[in-house]
Amino acid sequence: MMKIFVFSDNINIFKAIYKILRSLDYNIDYFCSPESKQIFKEFTFIKPKNIKSNYEVLLSYDLGFSIHSKQIFPNILVEKVLCINLHPGYNPHNRGIYPQSFSIINKLPIGATLHIMDSNIDSGDIIEQIQVKIEPFDTSLSLYKKILRAEIKLFKKNIHNILNHNFKVKKLKTKGNYNSKRDFCDLCRIDLEKTITMQEALDYLRALSHKPHNNAYFIDANGNKVYVRLEIRNPKNNIEKLDMGGGSRVNLPSPFLQRSA
């Protein structure tokens, strides 16, 4: 029987993917990074493993999946074993970390990608992709949630063909661009002297707003780090009901419901 391994460090996407995989009659072993052990405590069958120093045992597997794993698979592993990555981005655009944040800023396509893993990051042959639309009211968090839904849909659609080796791939035509963790850290510091438009400022702040995380910040006159997070109301949810008494309820745009000081 085919031996399969899965690495994940994201509890939310893992729960959805595990629900799909557990219905299949396959021998599947699950792993996470050592530092993610605590978040997976309810799943006692998930074993912490440092893939860089303990990859040898994985070479005996037939298929491997990276489902939001923080670890980079060694070259020898992706060369010997068919490894597939479920990536929250639309390759080759904004490959690397937090693609949704960078896409809000640089306007490059965003979505979900299922691809073969190779020696580079997010650069392997594409099995399938789904593009997700960025709305003017999307923050990093709201866009990320839409991407997660697209990833689950993508995985569910393709898993049987992957297990049966009945799928085609397409090669990337360009290398696209890549963003590292350092790039994101640099992005988070607000340059108070920079001149930009209000649209650029809005895009910047919503790209870094991902509750409950603190991302965007500036340094005040006293040397304190001050975090900034933007809250945007989806216009589809802007209609609230106002009780006028006598059983009557009137729909009004929510700004009119705010009390004056």
Q: How far apart are CA 180 and CA 39, in angstroms?
A: 24
pLDDT at 28: 96
Q: Walk me through the domains of the chain, giving residue ranges and CATH numbers.
A: 3-179 (3.40.50.170)
The reported pLDDT for the residue numbered 238 is 57
Q: Give me the pLDDT at residue 121, please.
A: 87
The rounded distance, in Å, linking the Cα atoms of 33 and 49 is 6
Both tokens of residue 202? 């809005």
Reduced to 3 states, what is the DSSP secondary structure of residue 161?
A: helix
pTM of the model: 0.87
Query: Tell me, what's the pLDDT at 258?
Result: 40
Q: What are phi and psi of 22, to 5 degrees?
A: -70, -15
Which positions are catalytic?
87
How many alpha carbons fall within 13 Å on the CB side of residue 232?
22
The residue ranges of the chain whose pLDDT is under 70 are 237-261
pLDDT for position 245: 43
Query: pLDDT value at position 233?
Result: 87
Angle CA(21)–CA(71)–CA(105) in degrees, nearest 5? 95
